[in-house]
Amino acid sequence: MSDETRPPLPPFTRETATRKVRGAEDGWNSCDPTRVSLVYTPDSQWRNRAEFVTGRAEIVAFLTRKWAKELDYRLIKELWAFTEERIAVRFAYEWHDDSGNWFRSYGNENWEFAASGLMQRRFACINDLPIRESERKFFWDRSGPRPADHPGLSDLGL
């Protein structure tokens, strides 16, 4: 087993689970597959929609494909529930394809963490809703994470 750690570590409290969720949101909003892969165990197992991914190399390949298709990606995650080593989140993200068609994707994720704080299992269910560009709700500079004063999912009625 690796000696890598990624605080906050389990067992989670509401505060540390919320920090873990926001950290994940910030990482995914970077759209940097290698950076994102480093918060998962080297042998992490995923189910993302109907695709099964194992290990960091497959995570990087998956995310590279994802963000080549999902342009101007912006994501908001929100804590739903937690236990000592598991966290459930709900999320939504907005993106457009290379033809300029906009979507809002809604989903839920279940995460399981190793004692190191690295995620070892991730299960994601996601649905895509076509939207008009005028219906977008996620606005912030793509060069950084969602600003602290930008509304979250509940604030946006999502």
Structure tokens at 53: 């991914």
Instruction: Dump pLDDT digits (tens) for 25-43.
Output: 999 999 999 999 999 999 9
Find the mean pLDDT for residues 8-25: 98
What's the CATH number of domain 14-132, 1.10.760.10, 2.160.10.10, 3.10.450.50, 3.20.20.10?
3.10.450.50
pLDDT for residue 126 is more than 60: yes
Instruction: Dump pLDDT digits (tens) for 72-93.
Output: 999 999 999 999 999 999 999 9
In Å, the largest CA–CA distance within the chain is: 48
Confidence of residue 1 (pLDDT cuts 50, 70, 90): very low
| Residue boundaries of the structural domains of the chain | 14-132
Element (H, E) at 80: strand 71-82
Confidence of residue 154 (pLDDT cuts 50, 70, 90): very high
Structure tokens at 87: 């966290």
Mean of pLDDT over the chain: 96
